[in-house]
């Protein structure tokens, strides 16, 4: 199962974290390939337009992209477009991928 976590502050996507695999045969899993293609293409665009504005990590079965500070318009557009694409995959293959949306209120547990 591929799990996609999306953190939103206000109307802005602040973080996307993708973990897991699609459950199909290694090397021919269409769901895993689709999610990877959307996330990795978005990351390539972000690195091209706003390299300094993001933190990211990628390894086998995992990708995390986090927007730092105030985002450029291009960064917002790329992050939102990535979520649109990932939602379409989840809607088509709900038994193989899930998306969880977390609203970040900015309130911390620290006293």
More confident call, 19 vs 11: 19
Per-residue pLDDT averaged across 88-98, rounded? 96
- Asked whether 49 and 78 are in contact (CB, 8 A), the reply is yes
pLDDT of residue 110: 52
Q: Is the CATH number of domain 2-103 3.30.70.1490?
A: yes
Distance CA 21, CA 76 (A): 26
Q: Which residue, among 29, 30, 28, 39, has the nearest Cα to 4 in the 3D structure?
A: 39
Q: State mean pLDDT over 77-94.
A: 96
Q: Where are the domains of the chain?
A: 2-103
Q: Model-level pTM?
A: 0.88
Split at pLDDT 50, 70, 90, the class of 67 is very high
Please measure the distance between the N-terminal and C-terminal CA atoms of the chain and give it in whole angstroms. Answer: 37
């Amino acid at each position: 199962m591929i799990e996609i976590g999306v953190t939103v502050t206000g109307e802005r996507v602040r973080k996307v974290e993708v973990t897991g695999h699609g459950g199909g045969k290694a090397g021919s899993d269409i769901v895993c390939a689709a999610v990877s293609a959307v996330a990795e293409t978005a990351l390539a665009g972000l690195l091209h337009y706003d390299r300094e504005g993001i933190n990211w990590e990628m390894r086998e079965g995992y990708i995390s992209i986090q927007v730092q500070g105030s985002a450029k318009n291009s960064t917002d557009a790329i992050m939102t477009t990535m979520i649109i694409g990932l939602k379409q995959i989840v809607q088509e293959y709900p038994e193989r991928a899930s998306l969880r949306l977390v609203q970040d209120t900015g309130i911390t547990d620290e006293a």
